[in-house]
């Protein structure tokens, strides 16, 4: 089913730099070489669905660096999260918020102050699941919408919903929206292969400032900085690669492995970034500064527990948009 089937839909007016359909990713397929994939900033993704009154695993749009402009065929409830300036028919809307839009309204997330923003619609983006997920796998070319980044003119069906949870000028917002940070300090544990490195390399990672490379992507965050002394061992058999692993290339460049990384690899892992810190790295832009802080495994586990507890405990706040400016009420239909 698609355009013209009578179902509510969302149309891509301008795609931005790189906009894809994403959800929480694929679970249970890594033994077959299929990476988890999914939304890079899990916190912002989950909040977008929460503000859209969706289940936590619903599919959304993920935009990188420059966001899209979209329109909808029916009045609906939309939500945004992540680092973006949001407008509806040219009028500002709060970020990290859910709000009602009229049919045909132009919703834009064009100016991102961080690396990623998310747009969710009540009912979710209803593309066909592949291996249990609606996420786009750009490397393999499947999932999402035709396995690719979205283009102008693409039409995505909106899933069945019970109607907008609110209406008019009501807004559902995050009580304390997080902001991107640079320099960004991320906490990490040693290893699992730090023993393969010369002694001076074991502390080098935690002593330097690194710059996010423009060659970074959804597979790995490449960091430019002082070369790290490389492994003293020769070639090695490929082994499983965890999300968050800090791989060191033969040239001494650190690469933080992300959701779409290859499930196995041959470069040794000097450290592993704590899971909640990967959410922060999801907003790291090219030329941002990243530093590493060494923590124990026990502290890393405590950091993860605290972050997930806080994510579950925070609740949205209901509010009202400011009174419309002259002419805005006619444009918005509110």
CA distance 266 to 285: 27
The pLDDT score that the predictor gives to residue 191 is 85
The model carries a pTM of 0.91
Task: Give the mean model confidence (pLDDT) for residues 16-21.
Answer: 96
Note the pLDDT tens digit of each residue in 222-259: 999 999 988 655 556 788 899 999 999 989 999 999 99
Closest CA to 10 of 111, 106, 100: 106
Task: Give the mean model confidence (pLDDT) for residues 70-75.
Answer: 94
CATH topology of domain 184-312: Cyclophilin (2.40.100)
Task: Give the mean model confidence (pLDDT) for residues 196-210.
Answer: 88
**Residues 6 or more apart whose Cβ sits within 8 Å of residue 120:** 48, 49, 51, 52, 54, 58, 60, 61, 78, 79, 80, 81
Q: Could you state, in order of their start, the residue ranges of all structural domains in the chain? A: 9-176+315-332, 184-312
> With 90 as the cut, is the pLDDT of residue 221 above it?
yes
Q: Please return the burial class of 333, using the count of CB atoms within 10 Å of its CB with bins 0-12, 13-18 and 19+.
A: middle
Least confident of 29-33, 104-108, 169-173, 328-332: 328-332
> With 80 as the cut, is the pLDDT of residue 329 above it?
no
Least confident of 25-29, 53-57, 132-136, 196-200: 196-200
The pLDDT score that the predictor gives to residue 162 is 74
Alpha-carbon separation of residue 331 from 89, 101, 200, 322, 326 (angstroms) = 7, 10, 63, 15, 10
- The full DSSP string for 269-280 is EEEEE-HHHHHH
The CA-based angle 191-37-59, given to 5 degrees, is 140
The pLDDT score that the predictor gives to residue 62 is 97
> With 60 as the cut, is the pLDDT of residue 324 above it?
yes
The pLDDT score that the predictor gives to residue 294 is 95
In this structure, the number of other CB atoms found within 10 A of the CB of residue 206 comes to 14
Task: Give the mean model confidence (pLDDT) for residues 187-207.
Answer: 88
CA distance 260 to 36: 6
> With 70 as the cut, is the pLDDT of residue 325 above it?
no
The pLDDT score that the predictor gives to residue 235 is 59
CA distance 54 to 76: 13
Strands (E), 159-219: 170-173, 184-190, 210-212
Task: Give the mean model confidence (pLDDT) for residues 84-105.
Answer: 92
Note the pLDDT tens digit of each residue in 274-315: 999 999 999 999 999 999 999 999 999 999 999 999 999 999
Strands (E), 191-288: 210-212, 220-224, 239-240, 245-248, 254-257, 264-265, 269-273
β-bridge partners, 240:
264
Task: Give the mean model confidence (pLDDT) for residues 28-37.
Answer: 91
The pLDDT score that the predictor gives to residue 332 is 45
């Amino acid at each position: 089913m698609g355009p013209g089937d009578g179902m509510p839909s969302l149309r891509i007016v301008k795609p931005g730099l790189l906009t894809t359909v994403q959800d929480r990713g694929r679970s249970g397929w890594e033994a077959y070489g299929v990476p988890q994939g999914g939304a890079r900033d899990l916190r912002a993704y989950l909040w977008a669905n929460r503000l859209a009154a969706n289940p936590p695993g619903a599919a959304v749009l993920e935009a990188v660096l420059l966001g899209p402009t979209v329109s909808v065929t029916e009045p609906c409830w939309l939500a945004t999260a992540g680092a973006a300036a949001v407008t509806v028919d040219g009028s500002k809307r709060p970020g990290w918020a859910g709000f009602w839009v009229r049919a045909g309204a132009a919703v834009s997330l064009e100016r991102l102050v961080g690396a990623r923003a998310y747009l969710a619609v009540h009912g979710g983006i209803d593309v066909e699941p592949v291996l249990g997920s609606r996420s786009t796998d750009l490397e393999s070319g499947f999932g999402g919408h035709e396995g690719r980044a979205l283009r102008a003119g693409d039409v995505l069906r909106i899933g069945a919903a019970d109607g907008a949870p609110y209406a008019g000028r009501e807004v559902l917002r995050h009580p304390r929206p997080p902001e991107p940070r640079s320099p960004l300090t991320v906490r990490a544990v040693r290893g699992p292969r730090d023993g393969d490195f010369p002694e001076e390399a074991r502390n080098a990672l935690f002593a330097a400032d690194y710059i996010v490379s423009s060659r970074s992507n959804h597979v790995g965050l490449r960091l430019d900085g002082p070369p790290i002394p490389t492994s003293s061992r020769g070639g090695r058999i490929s082994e499983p690669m965890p999300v968050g692993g800090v791989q060191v290339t033969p040239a001494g460049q650190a690469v933080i492995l992300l959701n779409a990384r290859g499930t196995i690899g041959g470069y040794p892992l000097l450290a592993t970034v704590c899971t909640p810190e990967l959410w922060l790295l999801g907003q790291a832009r090219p030329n941002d500064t990243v530093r590493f802080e060494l923590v124990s495994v026990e502290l890393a586990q405590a950091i993860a527990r605290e972050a997930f507890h806080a994510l579950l405990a925070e609740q949205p706040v209901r509010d009202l948009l400011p009174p419309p400016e002259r002419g805005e009420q006619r444009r918005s239909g509110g």
